[in-house]
Structure 1
Amino acid sequence: MFSVDTPSRAAGQSASELVPSRYALQVGEIDVLVVSDGVLPLPAATMATNVDPAELADWLQRNFLPPDMFDWPLNVLVARSGEQTILVDAGLGSQFSGFPRAGQFPRRLEDAGIPLESVTDVIITHMHMDHVGGLLAAGVQERLRPDVRIHVAKAEVDFWTQPDFTRTDMPKPVPNVLRSTANSFVEAYRQNLCIFTDRHEVAPGVVVRLTGGHTEGHSVVDLESGGERLMFAGDAMFPVGFENPDWHNGFEHDPVVSARVRRGLFQELADNGGLLVAAHLPFPSIGRVAADGEAFRYVPIMWDF
């Protein structure tokens, strides 16, 4: 099983890291490790593009968050099912100079005792730069197995051949970087891509399924074993979305569908009581969802040492 780090017994943890950056748990017979890839400073305005700025400012203030820039957490997940070690998303990579605090996953994976060479499968929830960039970081591809299987939705690969940014509201330089990074990823790993259309079992108890919304081929990953469940929701949800599931995020390529997907996944989690991990919830990002009238509540787990 993956081991849980604590400050007193974090084997291999960098001396410069004052807190753990990975968290282990089990979902039935599946070992799970959530790894922080760092944080991304982004304009707070991108959190809610379809509401009065005063509403967003009030939400930020009530949650003790700064009004202008917001540090998006960035999490990836590793699951071990049977003989397979599966990486879900790959973080940002270290090649983007504007985000010096992100791109940490390769080192942190090594610190956790999981060499890149041991990864048999990678699931990509979508091809935004902060989810595939880590696979393009220097030295990563050379260390991955030549036969590593990279699972991604056909709709996602097709989308990035001619991506539509007309309904997004991103900082101006971002679309070009997203486009070039997605194209570089496909070019680099074309021979390793395992394309699915709707739903695909990657390993026993590990299923990836298409949701759309955030991008055309955005997907979530369901882990289920021994009556226990965990969903890795990628970018289907953000911290502001529990109280305000209909608020649009500036990085959503189809914000109307995204809101519908978000509500559906929240309701699913509220109904089945499964655990939730998402790319941009505060590390370790593990909690449950409760229905709260027309909105929802995020209920973080208590850390288990």
Structure 2
Amino acid sequence: MTQDVSRRSLLTLGAGLGATAMLGGSALAKAPKLGTQAPYFHRFNFGDAEVTVVSDGPLPLGDPGGAFLGVPKEEIKKMLTDNFLSPDNVVLEQNSPVVNMGDRLVLFDTGMGTSKAFGPTTGRLQKSMAEAGIKPADIDAVVCSHAHIDHIGGIVGADDKPLFPNAQVYIAQSDYDFWTDEGKLGGPLKDFVIHARKNLLPVKDRLVFIKDGQEFLPGIQAVAAPGHTVGHTVFMVTSKGKSFCFLGDLTHHQVLLLEKPRMEFAYDTDPKAAVATRVKLLDMLAANKTPVMSYHFAWPGYGHVVKAGDGFRYIAEPMNMQL
């Protein structure tokens, strides 16, 4: 009897709503579309540290066939469509963690800055930091995984003045030397070199060169990861016995370069070395179940990598909206 009454009640309710809609009643939505999005930051606790991920905005690479090499284009497109991603335009995120260690505020990588080499959606790091309530003058250290255009581009502004006036800048010397070499201005790397020189030369007196295995700041250790660039570095961040690894550009995509980590990437300085480094470090991170923060994975880029056949799989950490 109760079930029959429930069905009749639902049918009656549905008929009533339909009539209301046809008559132009209050069931019709009249609120205007807002056209705004949530602020582009995410914050979580890690050990005794507070981590705030801020975004420099999406970075579209375009046709995946031009960047991801060594695998048939149709296979790459299937990998993307199987994961409900566009097969025609690979869009990377730019996730920069700001780690508050209690006694210092550390920013990892800085985005594209003023360059629009990858379109108009990049260059919002300063805006994202403002949305998160973080002042550039409060940053004590800017840690650079490498000197590519989308990682050091936000160190100085359009006026060539440092955007983080009180920060020291940490980078591998081999990467600094390679990407600021004026002898490369006449070659194919010209645009990257111009951008690196624009951002790194004005802070030359604040540079601190880091080495493999060095704990150059309390709780932050450099781990050499060459191949993508000569001095590409990932970082182990540790607080109260917990650690996560900031991957920089160890892998650019949460599907393509994880499922097939031996695939080559067009922007690698030494693709063969990049593959060897990627497989070695991902094996270690998966075996140790170490959380990862990836600069280019889907927002906000924090989770785990696990072994899956000859490759890996990324499992995103659920966003906890309560601190």
TM-score by length of 2: 0.81
For 1:207, the equivalent position in structure 2 comes to: 221
Provide the rounded CA distance (Å) in 2 between the counterparts of 1:135 and 1:163: 19
Provide the rounded CA distance (Å) in 2 between the counterparts of 1:288 and 1:163: 39
Q: Would the aligned equivalents of 1:213 and 1:256 in 2 still touch at CA under 8 Å?
A: yes
For 1:37, the equivalent position in structure 2 comes to: 56
For 1:153, the equivalent position in structure 2 comes to: 172
Specify whether residues 163 and 63 from structure 1 end up closer, same or farther in structure 2 by C-alpha distance, changes over 3 A only: farther
Choose 255-264 or 62-71, whichever is displaced more. 62-71
* Unpaired segments ≥5 residues, structure 1: 1-14, 166-172
Q: What does 1:249-268 align with in structure 2 at a 5 Å threshold?
A: 249-268=265-284
For 1:276, the equivalent position in structure 2 comes to: 292
For 2:319, the equivalent position in structure 1 comes to: 303
Q: Would the aligned equivalents of 2:156 and 2:162 in 1 still touch at CA under 8 Å?
A: no
What letter is aligned with 2:171?
V
TM-score by length of 1: 0.86
Pairing 1:242–2:261 present: no
Provide the rounded CA distance (Å) in 2 between the counterparts of 1:152 and 1:200: 12
Q: Would the aligned equivalents of 1:125 and 1:220 in 2 still touch at CA under 8 Å?
A: yes
SS of the aligned residue for 2:201 comes to helix
CA RMSD of aligned residues (A): 2.3
Specify whether residues 195 and 217 from structure 1 end up closer, same or farther in structure 2 by C-alpha distance, changes over 3 A only: same
SS of the aligned residue for 1:190 comes to helix
Provide the rounded CA distance (Å) in 1 between the counterparts of 2:206 and 2:171: 10
Specify whether residues 271 and 290 from structure 1 end up closer, same or farther in structure 2 by C-alpha distance, changes over 3 A only: same
SS of the aligned residue for 1:38 comes to coil
Q: Kindly state the Cα deviation for residue 65 of structure 1 after the two structures are TM-superposed.
A: 2.4
What letter is aligned with 1:60?
L
Provide the rounded CA distance (Å) in 2 between the counterparts of 1:245 and 1:61: 18
Pairing 1:135–2:155 present: yes
Tell me the alpha carbon deviations over residues 69-96 of structure 1, each in whole angstroms, 9 at most, x when there is no partner: 2211111111111311111000111342
Provide the rounded CA distance (Å) in 2 between the counterparts of 1:91 and 1:174: 21
Which is greater in Rg? 2
Aligned pair partner of 1:107 in 104, 124, 127: 127
Q: Would the aligned equivalents of 2:227 and 2:270 in 1 still touch at CA under 8 Å?
A: yes
Q: Kindly state the Cα deviation for residue 283 of structure 1 after the two structures are TM-superposed.
A: 0.6
Q: Kindly state the Cα deviation for residue 118 of structure 1 after the two structures are TM-superposed.
A: 0.2
Q: Would the aligned equivalents of 1:46 and 1:251 in 2 still touch at CA under 8 Å?
A: no
For 1:4, the equivalent position in structure 2 comes to: none
Q: Kindly state the Cα deviation for residue 57 of structure 1 after the two structures are TM-superposed.
A: 2.0
Aligned pair partner of 2:196 in 175, 182, 205: 182
What letter is aligned with 1:36?
S
Provide the rounded CA distance (Å) in 1 between the counterparts of 2:118 and 2:142: 26
What letter is aligned with 2:224?
L
Identity %: 28
Greater RCO, CA 8 A, separation 6+: 1
What letter is aligned with 2:302?
I
Provide the rounded CA distance (Å) in 2 between the counterparts of 1:164 and 1:126: 19
What letter is aligned with 2:102?
G
Provide the rounded CA distance (Å) in 2 between the counterparts of 1:248 and 1:143: 34
* Unpaired segments ≥5 residues, structure 2: 1-33
Number of positions where the alignment pairs a residue of Structure 1 with one of Structure 2: 283
SS of the aligned residue for 1:279 comes to coil
Q: Would the aligned equivalents of 1:116 and 1:140 in 2 still touch at CA under 8 Å?
A: no
